[in-house]
A and B are shown apart, each in its own frame.
Chain A
């Protein structure tokens, strides 16, 4: 189980950090020890006295997260890093491929990527790792950029306060000199990272909204994601008809992207670091439980490449939310027949729609393939009636 940190080039750096008292957990399973995060917090405060909440007013300043954030997993196994780089560079025509690495943490994978000639932008949301990453940057002669940024919270939807690590993709990409490519072109950059364990579902939905509306990172073209994801979530993503895991999320991802499973890795190969422990131990306990639950699982390294032909004349980034709503509503009664659903989806003549998509009216929702849903949507959308959807005015801004 233990990750062989020792005897590898990264070790020096790591031990140096550990000595500084900011970073102590880098072994698998060690995070189970309860005392660790607490000690860690103290270390943090000592080092950043200016971050201490001032005593004279009660409410905590908002730059400290209100809740202690969930523990994140990091790649610390150099062998794993090497394997990943091999996989990533295998199909690459361009050796100087640009990678966007989310939360590299100790930077093991970053180093491996850099060694393979790639350019890397490291987006790290945890201040603790920043100095280390920046020192790495000096060594590799600017092939690495380090930004204090949380990739998973880019472009907050509810127009919340934009303060590091929360950033706007526009600012980020501009400062990195990344240019937008049209949708028809190849992917402008590859994102590498691990989905945070706690709100994978939420992030997957946020990415879907970004993708279908071609906003945020997807306004720069068909950005390819290469991510580690819990096996359970992966199964949901690729679930097909007749599978009990089949759900709107599966349909939307399968319609939007080519999903490739690149690699599987036991969860134990990752290290967990609890970002800001927070004063309450209870919350840590919860997250520990979560970790324990995950222990037996595998992590899947998957590649999500947006399809070139995702958008058509009838499915665009203007009306995508109708498509989303249609799917959600269909799956609310997943064993209902297609005919019943059609009647409560659209006032358009159901029989002709069925004929158009060549489906039987008694088919169940769970019998339909993702493409079928897209066809169905397009068939209704292209009908000439003035009112095509029964719910078109119940669309609301979805705040995730």
Chain B
């Protein structure tokens, strides 16, 4: 500080040189007129005349001298100010006195002035101003810091009358109570001005950037509430409200959120502040606002008059009191408080009962039978007694409360050598330090985020507070543990981390009381399922669950994607910053430098770069050496140990505590949830019940198969049988360097070889870890019964929730599973096992069932040999299409035939029935194409039909003609048109493959044929794809018309600016989540992340995807409906049923029943006017209303309407015949 003063003083002393009469300067200094005036009064001070003579010389000298000092001073002042920071600021007085002295010389100074003087003068002046600004800034900062400990509570209002009122009330608080003000405030008409602004703003349409900001702020406020930082939320709201630019961003939902927070706390004063802001922003309070106000009054026990005034105002605003209880999500305690307030004013008031689920019945005619009360029902029961199931529930509850499951790895356990033990020890020590350091790091991050939040920005602070630091640190270390050696992209890592934090929090949030309530309800529910209990009326699991209690509390809203990624990114950054390990592990600890464990590197794809977090090779090495034999999974990644909770709403069901969505979707896609939430609950019953039922199937591990697989896995693997080899089997790149004179060709060869090795090794690693997870889980669940809860994708296709170990997937994965519940084979069960075996071998595809059965009998010796000596015998099973499942089937057959009475043999083995080209089956049924229907087995026939062979035959016929006419390609193709060449294209035509894609597929097939002259590949594939399309067109004429109609409709709908929506025959609402990409940018930190979200509904629909996606998605929605119908009817008949899309599984004894149900339901499904219903729905949804004021648009609507209404004509196929078709599903 002294240096600063000295600098000013020194220059100030040169008063003699100060030139007089400089109006320009005066004007410039106008801002300091007060100071100036005083200075002027002193201007008559004595002067030194003698100096004048040699002034020129002196002046220059002194000017330069002053300049030097000034520069010194300037630079010091910067530094000092920074250092001084908060220290008391110097009084401006000291500065002024010197100025006064300086001014004294003014009159005496010569009239002429040199530019040097001017310069000095000017600089002196700027410096002074600079300093003053700095002072002002420092003062503000000091003030800020001083009040930083206090969060702002009192809002700053724009509307003058409101602000005045607030001030008056604020000061006169005791005289007019706050309640009074609220009532008066409520009567206040909304501010006109801001309302207009709001409208103008709305007309422009919110930009996606603004929307993201709004989303972020709202999520921030909500999270503040959850993490108990309500004052901070209020502060941020007040701060945003105070600045006009940010105020535009605020929505009623944000005010309501904070208001609700205060209501829960019973802080009326703050609640009124928020009401002031709502009014100031020109918004009209809605039900939620009133609910908050009333709740607060209830908690404080306010008098009747206040409540009544509030209720009156509510009525004036056109809001119904009843609605608060029906349409505002409230927890019981909130509801009680609310009711207390209302009863003060209206003692007789009773809240309307929530609509009972009973009267609501699904309206779909297809489901009428399912929900019919009368008729025979024999819902299946589990084979386990009540006590056992209760114990299982306890186990599962423990697992989910712990949030993670530690599973022993099946990787061959090493004998722990000295080295291994040392490595494990090192790791343990390192982890302990890391947890400490991460906790410290997290504290720092939290502190800085909290500081940032105080400036009024929504930051990550509340999100970081949801879990303890220790928990977050553990979560980060788990992530580090499973990072693949080649690294993972920062974006996906960030998203995963964010999601895991959310899920953990959602589990933890459930309080003990809720868990107890759940347990009670679940125990009762088990009476329906357990083998040794009965319930009064047989009903579906969901129905029973619903009778046992009230609907669940409102579910946790997922955080917006940008928040998830931002949070995850911040955590990942911390991991990079904090986690370090000694550079060389051999050296004693502490003696060598620490190196980061994670690196942020880039991968370059053409001109794009992707940030990757990659573990240091030393760390990977350490992990490998330590060979720790445990794997950690999230609780929701492991199959359940007790029957899942029945699905009762779009977000309740499946796991006990872990949140699961009924409809899975890409993170950040909200439209499916919105659609499901807005749909009447009864409409979803079909889907809810089908999913519940699929999840209720009990599974166990096929232990003998698992043993064999593990044996192979521990040895060198066997890629041919789908058991991946260990990394030691990876091809080694050639050793050593090439001689310097190697030719370019040699070098290129070496490079290719290196690249190939790298690629193979990486693929092997990912396959191996995939298998490791699956087998470790299988081993973990060996000797146990477990359940696979299901949910569906946006088209209604069902999937098991646990990702690693389930019945979807490869041959190996399927062979590891069997039904936990057994059924005696019965009279035909053994035959079905045999047929199933032959189906799995893929050998007798075009033979009738009898021939397949005969073949199985012929092969019985091989079958038994395979079963008894799978690895040492003739190994017949290894040669077939699906070896592991075939082996499992061989074993089952062996056991059955050796049983004293095969019909009484209790089989756990699932037998599959596949739809043959299921997509085309649905198309053929929709279009009633006779030829097509026959080729996909909708017509009864003695031998199974094969559509691929048929198409191949037709193409061949055309080719022969062309060849005769001299078409060269046709001649070249002689002998190459086979089923295999056309199969993939025919199969995928249903799913919208284009000619372009079809040609590529055929090209690939032709390239595989070594004997085909490769120079013709391009031309030939072109020719073939045209022929394939033509023959399909002929066989499935109706299909093509329907496809075309669907595509065209989707195109027009997308053009009109909407995403295509429809409702499946079972009533599931579907919307295609294809929009133009919206880019989200998260900047700062180690790298800016940009990701695009194609599910953002505020963007225009992506016409191409909407159009190309509609036909296949629609067909999928039909096949899923068929599956669900079959599932529900099978359940009613007491069957065990699961499915892999168009492959239905049941016990061998029940195959015939299932087949019958499956055919019946197909006929019933397609007897509905599906296309007409679709047309009606689309017309109503997209062509009605007054949405098209413009002429051009109405033209477009007309065209859309015409298209939608012109449902394609259908053929003459008689659907009933499906009932008698043996090979429909076989």
Give Cα A58 to B596, complex, Å: 57
What are the residues of chain B within 8 A of A317 when measuring CB–CB?
Answer: 744, 747-748, 751
Is B616's CB under 8 angstroms from A347's CB?
Answer: yes
Asked if A219 lies at the interface with its beta carbon under 8 angstroms from chain B, I say: yes
Asked if A393 lies at the interface with its beta carbon under 8 angstroms from chain B, I say: yes
Asked if B738 lies at the interface with its beta carbon under 8 angstroms from chain A, I say: yes
Binary interface profile of B, 323-353, with partner A (CB < 8 Å = 1, else 0)?
0000000000000000000000000000000
Is B602's CB under 8 angstroms from A393's CB?
Answer: no
Give Cα A218 to B747, complex, Å: 13
Binary interface profile of B, 734-753, with partner A (CB < 8 Å = 1, else 0)?
00011010001101101100
Binary interface profile of B, 948-982, with partner A (CB < 8 Å = 1, else 0)?
00000000000000000000000000000000000
Asked if B617 lies at the interface with its beta carbon under 8 angstroms from chain A, I say: yes
Is B599's CB under 8 angstroms from A219's CB?
Answer: no
What are the residues of chain A within 8 A of B751 when measuring CB–CB?
Answer: 213, 317-318, 321
Asked if A343 lies at the interface with its beta carbon under 8 angstroms from chain B, I say: yes
Is A313's CB under 8 angstroms from B740's CB?
Answer: yes
Q: What are some 22 contacts across the A-B interface (CB < 8 A)? A: A213-B744, A214-B744, A215-B744, A215-B748, A219-B745, A316-B738, A316-B747, A317-B744, A318-B737, A318-B738, A318-B750, A343-B595, A344-B599, A390-B601, A391-B614, A393-B762, A394-B486, A394-B601, A394-B614, A395-B755, A395-B758, A396-B605
Give Cα A394 to B1018, complex, Å: 34
Is A391's CB under 8 angstroms from B601's CB?
Answer: yes
Q: Residue on B with the closest CB to A57? A: B1026
From B485, B607, B740, B995, contact of A393 by CB (8 A) = B485
- The smallest C-beta distance from A161 to any residue of chain B, in angstroms, reads 6
What are the residues of chain A within 8 A of B762 when measuring CB–CB?
Answer: 393
Binary interface profile of A, 49-93, with partner B (CB < 8 Å = 1, else 0)?
000000001110000000000000000000000000000000000
Asked if A134 lies at the interface with its beta carbon under 8 angstroms from chain B, I say: no
What are the residues of chain A within 8 A of B617 when measuring CB–CB?
Answer: 347, 387, 390
Asked if A329 lies at the interface with its beta carbon under 8 angstroms from chain B, I say: yes
What are the residues of chain B within 8 A of A332 when measuring CB–CB?
Answer: 602, 609
What are the residues of chain B within 8 A of A35 when measuring CB–CB?
Answer: none
Asked if B994 lies at the interface with its beta carbon under 8 angstroms from chain A, I say: yes
Asked if A282 lies at the interface with its beta carbon under 8 angstroms from chain B, I say: no
What are the residues of chain A within 8 A of B17 when measuring CB–CB?
Answer: none
Asked if B600 lies at the interface with its beta carbon under 8 angstroms from chain A, I say: yes
- The smallest C-beta distance from A339 to any residue of chain B, in angstroms, reads 12
- The smallest C-beta distance from A135 to any residue of chain B, in angstroms, reads 30
Asked if A138 lies at the interface with its beta carbon under 8 angstroms from chain B, I say: no
Is A214's CB under 8 angstroms from B600's CB?
Answer: no
From known contacts A57-B1026, A347-B618, infer whether A396 and B748 are also in contact, taking CB-CB under 8 Å.
no
What are the residues of chain A within 8 A of B994 when measuring CB–CB?
Answer: 59
What are the residues of chain A within 8 A of B607 when measuring CB–CB?
Answer: 201
What are the residues of chain A within 8 A of B487 when measuring CB–CB?
Answer: 394
Is B605's CB under 8 angstroms from A398's CB?
Answer: yes
Is A213's CB under 8 angstroms from B748's CB?
Answer: yes
What are the residues of chain B within 8 A of A6 when measuring CB–CB?
Answer: none
Q: Residue on B with the closest CB to A391? A: B601
- In chain A, residues 362-400, which have Cβ atoms closer than 8 Å to a Cβ of chain B? 387, 390-391, 393-400
Give Cα A332 to B609, complex, Å: 9
What are the residues of chain B within 8 A of A344 when measuring CB–CB?
Answer: 599-601
What are the residues of chain B within 8 A of A316 when measuring CB–CB?
Answer: 738, 747
For the complex of A and B, 3 pairs with smallest distance between CB atoms = A214-B744, A387-B617, A317-B747
Name the residue among B595, B609, B744, B754 with the largest chain A CB count within 10 angstroms. B744
Asked if B996 lies at the interface with its beta carbon under 8 angstroms from chain A, I say: yes
- The smallest C-beta distance from B618 to any residue of chain A, in angstroms, reads 7
Is B596's CB under 8 angstroms from A343's CB?
Answer: yes
From known contacts A329-B601, A344-B599, infer whether A393 and B750 are also in contact, taking CB-CB under 8 Å.
no
Q: Residue on A with the closest CB to B601? A: A391
Q: How many residues of A contact B (CB 8 A)?
A: 34
Is A394's CB under 8 angstroms from B612's CB?
Answer: yes
Asked if B244 lies at the interface with its beta carbon under 8 angstroms from chain A, I say: no
Asked if A153 lies at the interface with its beta carbon under 8 angstroms from chain B, I say: no
From known contacts A59-B996, A398-B605, infer whether A390 and B744 are also in contact, taking CB-CB under 8 Å.
no
Is A328's CB under 8 angstroms from B606's CB?
Answer: no
Is A397's CB under 8 angstroms from B740's CB?
Answer: no
Asked if B604 lies at the interface with its beta carbon under 8 angstroms from chain A, I say: yes
Is A57's CB under 8 angstroms from B758's CB?
Answer: no
Asked if B603 lies at the interface with its beta carbon under 8 angstroms from chain A, I say: yes
- The smallest C-beta distance from B1026 to any residue of chain A, in angstroms, reads 6
Give Cα A161 to B754, complex, Å: 25
From A57, A329, A396, contact of B995 by CB (8 A) = A57
- The smallest C-beta distance from A179 to any residue of chain B, in angstroms, reads 14
From known contacts A57-B995, A59-B994, A390-B599, infer whether A219 and B485 are also in contact, taking CB-CB under 8 Å.
no
Asked if A283 lies at the interface with its beta carbon under 8 angstroms from chain B, I say: no
What are the residues of chain A within 8 A of B738 when measuring CB–CB?
Answer: 316, 318
Q: Residue on A with the closest CB to B616? A: A347
Is B996's CB under 8 angstroms from A390's CB?
Answer: no
What are the residues of chain A within 8 A of B747 when measuring CB–CB?
Answer: 213-214, 316-318
What are the residues of chain B within 8 A of A343 when measuring CB–CB?
Answer: 595-596
Give Cα A218 to B618, complex, Å: 39
- In chain A, residues 142-196, which have Cβ atoms closer than 8 Å to a Cβ of chain B? 161, 163
Q: Residue on A with the closest CB to B617? A: A387
Is B603's CB under 8 angstroms from A396's CB?
Answer: yes
- The smallest C-beta distance from A217 to any residue of chain B, in angstroms, reads 12
Give Cα A394 to B758, complex, Å: 9
- The smallest C-beta distance from A214 to any residue of chain B, in angstroms, reads 4
- The smallest C-beta distance from B333 to any residue of chain A, in angstroms, reads 53
What are the residues of chain A within 8 A of B604 when measuring CB–CB?
Answer: 325, 328, 396, 398
Q: Residue on B with the closest CB to A394? A: B603
What are the residues of chain B within 8 A of A391 when measuring CB–CB?
Answer: 601, 603, 614
Q: Residue on B with the closest CB to A183? A: B744
Binary interface profile of B, 1057-1085, with partner A (CB < 8 Å = 1, else 0)?
00000000000000000000000000000
Q: Residue on B with the closest CB to A214? A: B744
From A58, A161, A321, contact of B1018 by CB (8 A) = A161
Give Cα A321 to B754, complex, Å: 12
Binary interface profile of B, 593-634, with partner A (CB < 8 Å = 1, else 0)?
001100111111111010010101110000000000000000
Give Cα A38 to B857, complex, Å: 73
Give Cα A394 to B603, complex, Å: 6
A59-B996, A318-B738 are known contacts; what are 20 more A-B pairs with Cβ within 8 Å? Answer: A59-B995, A214-B747, A215-B744, A316-B738, A318-B737, A318-B750, A318-B754, A325-B604, A328-B602, A329-B601, A343-B595, A347-B617, A390-B616, A391-B614, A393-B758, A394-B603, A394-B612, A397-B755, A398-B604, A398-B606
Give Cα A66 to B762, complex, Å: 35
Name the residue among A328, A332, A394 with the largest chain B CB count within 10 angstroms. A394
What are the residues of chain A within 8 A of B486 when measuring CB–CB?
Answer: 393-394
Name the residue among A218, A343, A393 with the largest chain B CB count within 10 angstroms. A393
Is B606's CB under 8 angstroms from A400's CB?
Answer: yes
Binary interface profile of B, 979-1020, with partner A (CB < 8 Å = 1, else 0)?
000000000000000111000000000000000000000100
Give Cα A214 to B748, complex, Å: 8
Give Cα A318 to B995, complex, Å: 40
Give Cα A399 to B599, complex, Å: 25
What are the residues of chain A within 8 A of B616 when measuring CB–CB?
Answer: 347, 390
Give Cα A319 to B849, complex, Å: 60
What are the residues of chain B within 8 A of A214 when measuring CB–CB?
Answer: 744, 747-748
What are the residues of chain B within 8 A of A328 when measuring CB–CB?
Answer: 602, 604, 609
What are the residues of chain B within 8 A of A387 when measuring CB–CB?
Answer: 617
Q: Residue on A with the closest CB to B487? A: A394
Give Cα A215 to B744, complex, Å: 7
Binary interface profile of A, 318-347, with partner B (CB < 8 Å = 1, else 0)?
100100010011001000000000011001
- In chain B, residues 718-741, which have Cβ atoms closer than 8 Å to a Cβ of chain A? 737-738, 740
From known contacts A317-B747, A343-B596, A390-B601, infer whether A58 and B606 are also in contact, taking CB-CB under 8 Å.
no
- The smallest C-beta distance from A45 to any residue of chain B, in angstroms, reads 21
Give Cα A229 to B740, complex, Å: 34
Binary interface profile of A, 205-240, with partner B (CB < 8 Å = 1, else 0)?
000000001110011000000000000000000000
Give Cα A232 to B745, complex, Å: 36
